Structure 1
Amino acid sequence: MKEPIVIIGSGAAGVHCALTLLQAGCRVQMLDVGQSGSIPPLPNVPISELKSQLADPESYFLGKDPNAIRLPGDDGEYYALPPSKSHVVESGLATDPRSAGFSPLVSFARGGFADAWTGGCYPFDDNDLRDFPIDFAGMQPFYDEVAKRIGISGSDDLASLIPYHDGIQEPLELDPHSEFLLRTYHERVKDKSPGIHLGHARSAVISQATDGRSACSSLGRCLWGCPTSSFYVPSLTLAQCRTYDSFDYRPGLRVSHAVCDSTRQVKAVEATDEQGEKHLFDVGTLVLAAGTLSTSAIYLRTLEQAGVSEPVLTGLMDNRQIHIPFVTPALFGQPIAADAYQYHRLAMVVEDAQLPASCHGQLTTLKAAMTHPILQRLPIGLRSAVRMFRNVRSGMGLLNLSFPETRRSNNRIRLVAQKADGQQPSLHVAIDYYPPVAERQTHKRVKRQVRRFMKQLGCHTFGFWNSTRDMGASIHYAGTIPMSATAAPHTVSPSGNSHDFPNLWIVDASVFPSLPAKSLTLTTMANSIRTTRLMLESLKSS
């Protein structure tokens, strides 16, 4: 193969596609914007001691603005990215004013969105994969491969609902709050609430040393970026790819579209560098792995270059999420385990016969935070709220509840021409999203079930604390160029090969035909490896 295989994007899908190709002896060129953050300081110092040892702790923890302080405002969000992760998420695409119902986020970071993910690793079961051209048995070897590559810790206590696979290490030790909740569930709640299940989370963090990475040492610094590489981010795999002489990584480039001939064979891609200059890169085989929104934008502009006027991609999906804060009075006044793994240690499955798949929840207990937006929502003065917070924060937590989603034709991404006075028309992305008709009734029904369950655990939830996140906030984007066993415009084959462009493959979540409530990153990585190996077979036979 004379030309390298060109991959667009260094996120979870792109780096695992690249590594699979490199291991097979291929030459790979990766084009990427590739923004990077700072190296974590003092890598062996726990969170409880970091403030006193840093030369400028205010800038590290809060930023210059300070942009890491999160107080609940009009957006209703409970979390903000710290300054060390501010490079990961951009406010959105250059969208047209006619966009509606969706708040898009994009990432131009090395490693993509998953450079700031919370590490949930939950494989899709046969019901989750019912619209995919593959079942769990076909996906399992690739889940095994991902677990081997990235390191996953967890337990099989939810195996009847979330399939178990090889390569999973022992779970991390539970913090006192999580341990109390899980023990209470098994002792008093499990048999009384058959529709809701609680168990250990499965997370992209290693509990034993693996491939030169040290086991999690409970420094409590996960949110700011794991300083010991115990927690997996795709930039670790990118670094592994860069050890290959056959890998050419080109950061600082934003790809606009592919250039095709009259048969729609991709011949090149056009990219703009940081100085605004445009470049053409020759292509033999092109792989889109830029994330659903960016991949869709590139695909739409390529269709427009191929003569399709104002093209549209339908079926955009994202998981609606509801944040449900809770308090557990039995834990009030207890010491806080600040030097502990920060993200969720417990996972929840909520079965609902009226939904196409179960809902999925992640329970995060408050640990390293010195303050929290919940105190702003207490119906008392701020001074009293701060005093109360100090006494109750050991019993505070947050349930992030996700709902499954399906493709619908009125949810779409499209290109529209926008004219400016005296200038050539420019193409803008417009995004339209309309929720399911019965969404409010569904949320009300499931929240009622969850509140009863939390009460049985000894927890209290309050409706004025709940926050239904905007569509786009979960960043679980998928479905715009779905896999299809039969050829159709704007779809890909089960191997990820475009039905519109013969030498184009797509390996990110834009190819998902449906979207379960579970985090999609594990399946994105597994499916990327699967489709890349099928692509290799196709290239060898051609």
Structure 2
Amino acid sequence: MNIAGFMVVGSGCSAAMAAQTLVDAGADVTMVDVGIDNPEYHSQVPEKDYIDIRRNEIDQHRYLIGQNAEGVVWGHVGKGAQITPPRRHMIEKVDTYLPVRSSTFSPVESLGYGGLGIGWGLQCWEFSDADIRAAGLDETRMRDAYEVVAQRVGISATKDDASPYTIVDLKTYQPPVNMDRNHQRILNRYQAHKNYFNKRGFVLGRTPLALLTEDMDGREKYAYRDMDYYTDNGRSAWRPWVTVDQLKGSPNFTYVGGHLVTRFVERDGFVEVECLTIPQHEKRVLRCRTLVLAAGALGSARVVLRSMGESHTKLPLLCNPYSFIPCVQLSMVGKEVERKKLGLAQLSLILDEERGKSGFSIASLYSYQSLMLFRLMGQVPFLGFSDARHIMRYLMSGLVIMGVHHPDKRSSKKYLQLVGDASSPVGDHLDASYVLDQAEKDEFVRRERKYIAAGRRLGIYATKRINPGYGASIHYAGTLPFSDRDQPLTLSPSGRLHGTQDVYVADSSGFNYLPACGLTFSLLANAHITAQKALKHER
């Protein structure tokens, strides 16, 4: 009977980081994953900048809008609208194997090789001390883990007004990426009127990214091709699969693809892990000494609910409310578009009126070019496609997207529960509810209006405010919350699932609070810590 030492479920951000910690410690590690990939698209995208591709590449439609125009979204902008054809494998088969039923919550999940990290926006924010405590994490261990993660993935950042909210005291980082003219003008206006913004609770600074500006470990520094949503040529952006690919060269690491973990059963001295093979739909049982679930807050919740016989039990749910606000910088309208630029977030505008470094909101600022203008044309009021196309092309060099995230805390109106479903190949689906209290809605609208007003002072003018629906932030947490008490469906501070001996959860399931800042950097840090504790079998 073959029994793995440690079995890590998934290949996303948390799984990759936990697996690296275990492998580096010399443990015998097996990663079990569905691992859908799309190598055909990877080879189609040339190593050229976006402007060159648009002007010269005959087959550009294949990867910009898709062979069957699958990348074209018109009308309502909802979840996954930003996922381009070369990355749509990220959400392939999700509706079949990870079904969710809800009228109030529409999540994005992944069975892809690299999980949701395939399309991660690369923002690397540390939680503040107050937010670390609110989430149920340990401040000292998290600060140490942030350094470890930064050394592994490579982060570009700088010290500025925003760094107390972004990189805090991080020591390991490369120089920041170069800003385009759009964002440099915004930053210049902020610096000229800093007192005005600070008095109103705003600070502005560079966005830290898991993106290299210097070569590192066989990965190339960023080339400013503005193709960040289509390709990872050069691997300057860190993706989970980058780490998993590296781990495959280790003698103590085994990757098992095509397997969806559905449940586990603890036996005397080992854990049985039940899987469904995809696409064969055959049941298979694998075994390990210690199981590390890292399938995401929703995926791990499914596995635990089935395994613990807790169908219909409601689990809490956290998700950052999110809106985005297309803006125009009038001084840039009609200017020649830049060839060398970054498509990811370049600036972050933080609204912390209490100055307590907790409970604040964050707006990430992006230029809008390579994601294709049709995604915004449908949002231009009272205009058809033809008129909108001409107007948006003229405005393109001055377009800025302000993506606003708000914090989230637990409430009785935000929950998940597992419901039997004979039509599903896994035998069930998740019912989800995500409803904000009216006071929360009013507060977030107030903050977004304040952002719009601040934007005008920065020289960017909002065209409208778009709410893509709850779940569109792709930030989920809190389904199996940390607890010092041995309660069912909670985690001990070590990450061990209460009621088990050798099952740990290394993703965001344990977080008791979700700050507005991107959670991925903290996911990676927590996964590293959980793996360390699993190695020591901390209870």
Q: TM-score, normalised by structure 1?
A: 0.91
Aligned counterpart, 2:252: 246
1:328-407 to structure 2, matched below 5 A, reads 328-353=329-354, 357-376=359-378, 377-407=380-410
| Aligned pair partner of 1:146 in 145, 149, 158 | 149
Aligned counterpart, 2:189: 184
Aligned counterpart, 1:7: 8
Deviation at 1:247, TM superposition (A): 0.7
- Name the CA shift for 1:503/1:334 in 2 (closer, same or farther; >3 Å): same
Aligned counterpart, 2:91: 89
Distance 1:475 1:266 in 2: 34
Aligned counterpart, 1:160: 164
| Aligned pair partner of 1:209 in 205, 215, 219 | 215
8 A Cα contact 1:9 1:289, kept in partner: yes
- Name the CA shift for 1:233/1:97 in 2 (closer, same or farther; >3 Å): closer
Distance 2:209 2:323 in 1: 21
8 A Cα contact 1:121 1:204, kept in partner: yes
Distance 1:65 1:100 in 2: 29
8 A Cα contact 1:92 1:104, kept in partner: no
Task: Work out whether 1:61 is the aligned partner of 2:40.
Answer: no
The one-letter amino acid of 1:334's match is K
| Aligned pair partner of 2:180 in 175, 185, 193 | 175
Show CA shifts across 1:304-330 (max 9, x none).
Answer: 2xxx4x342422111110111111101
Distance 2:449 2:355 in 1: 15
8 A Cα contact 2:197 2:203, kept in partner: no
Distance 2:127 2:97 in 1: 33
| Aligned pair partner of 2:276 in 272, 275, 282 | 272
- Name the CA shift for 1:53/1:481 in 2 (closer, same or farther; >3 Å): same
Distance 1:517 1:523 in 2: 12
8 A Cα contact 1:28 1:246, kept in partner: yes
8 A Cα contact 2:417 2:432, kept in partner: yes
Distance 1:321 1:485 in 2: 31
Moved more, 249-258 or 387-396: 387-396
Task: Work out whether 1:198 is the aligned partner of 2:204.
Answer: yes
Moved more, 220-229 or 481-490: 481-490
Aligned counterpart, 1:411: 414
The one-letter amino acid of 2:190's match is Y
Distance 2:334 2:102 in 1: 48
Identity, % of aligned positions: 26
Structure 2 SS opposite 1:496? coil
Deviation at 1:283, TM superposition (A): 2.1
Moved more, 134-143 or 195-204: 134-143
Show CA shifts across 1:184-232 (max 9, x none).
Answer: 1101244344311111110110111111111101111111022110011
Distance 1:391 1:111 in 2: 37
Distance 1:500 1:324 in 2: 45
8 A Cα contact 2:318 2:478, kept in partner: yes
Deviation at 1:53, TM superposition (A): 6.0
Aligned counterpart, 1:507: 506
The one-letter amino acid of 2:236's match is S
Distance 2:344 2:439 in 1: 32
8 A Cα contact 1:417 1:427, kept in partner: yes
- Name the CA shift for 1:43/1:167 in 2 (closer, same or farther; >3 Å): farther
Show CA shifts across 1:431-481 (max 9, x none).
Answer: 22222331321122102211221111112113xx21112111111111011
Aligned counterpart, 2:318: 317
Structure 2 SS opposite 1:224? coil
The one-letter amino acid of 1:492's match is L
Structure 1 SS opposite 2:476? coil
8 A Cα contact 1:128 1:516, kept in partner: yes
- Name the CA shift for 1:294/1:461 in 2 (closer, same or farther; >3 Å): same
- Name the CA shift for 1:339/1:70 in 2 (closer, same or farther; >3 Å): farther
Aligned counterpart, 2:51: 48
8 A Cα contact 2:79 2:471, kept in partner: no
Task: Work out whether 1:303 is the aligned partner of 2:308.
Answer: yes
Task: Work out whether 1:444 is the aligned partner of 2:445.
Answer: yes
Distance 1:192 1:428 in 2: 47
Deviation at 1:20, TM superposition (A): 0.6
The one-letter amino acid of 1:289's match is A
- Name the CA shift for 1:209/1:485 in 2 (closer, same or farther; >3 Å): same
- Name the CA shift for 1:97/1:130 in 2 (closer, same or farther; >3 Å): closer
Distance 1:357 1:424 in 2: 41
Deviation at 1:485, TM superposition (A): 2.4
Aligned counterpart, 2:484: 485
Structure 2 SS opposite 1:438? helix
Deviation at 1:166, TM superposition (A): 1.8
The one-letter amino acid of 2:295's match is A
Distance 2:334 2:80 in 1: 23
Show CA shifts across 1:228-268 (max 9, x none).
Answer: 1001111000011111011110000111111234x8x7630
Aligned counterpart, 2:467: 468
CA-atom RMSD in angstroms:
2.6
Query: Where in structure 1 are there 5+ consecutive unaligned residues?
Result: none
The one-letter amino acid of 1:247's match is F
8 A Cα contact 1:124 1:136, kept in partner: no
Structure 2 SS opposite 1:268? strand
Q: TM-score, normalised by structure 2?
A: 0.92
Structure 2 SS opposite 1:348? strand
The one-letter amino acid of 1:521's match is T
1:208-227 to structure 2, matched below 5 A, reads 208-227=214-233
8 A Cα contact 1:93 1:105, kept in partner: no
Distance 2:254 2:131 in 1: 36
Distance 2:437 2:270 in 1: 37
Distance 1:96 1:43 in 2: 35
The one-letter amino acid of 1:83's match is P
Show CA shifts across 1:276-300 (max 9, x none).
Answer: 1111001211110011111111111
Structure 1 SS opposite 2:261? strand
Moved more, 24-33 or 441-450: 441-450
Distance 1:432 1:180 in 2: 42
Task: Work out whether 1:494 is the aligned partner of 2:493.
Answer: yes
Aligned counterpart, 1:31: 32
Moved more, 387-396 or 213-222: 387-396
Distance 1:298 1:481 in 2: 11
- Name the CA shift for 1:298/1:190 in 2 (closer, same or farther; >3 Å): same
Distance 1:25 1:102 in 2: 41
Deviation at 1:97, TM superposition (A): 8.4
Distance 1:260 1:370 in 2: 50
Deviation at 1:64, TM superposition (A): 2.1
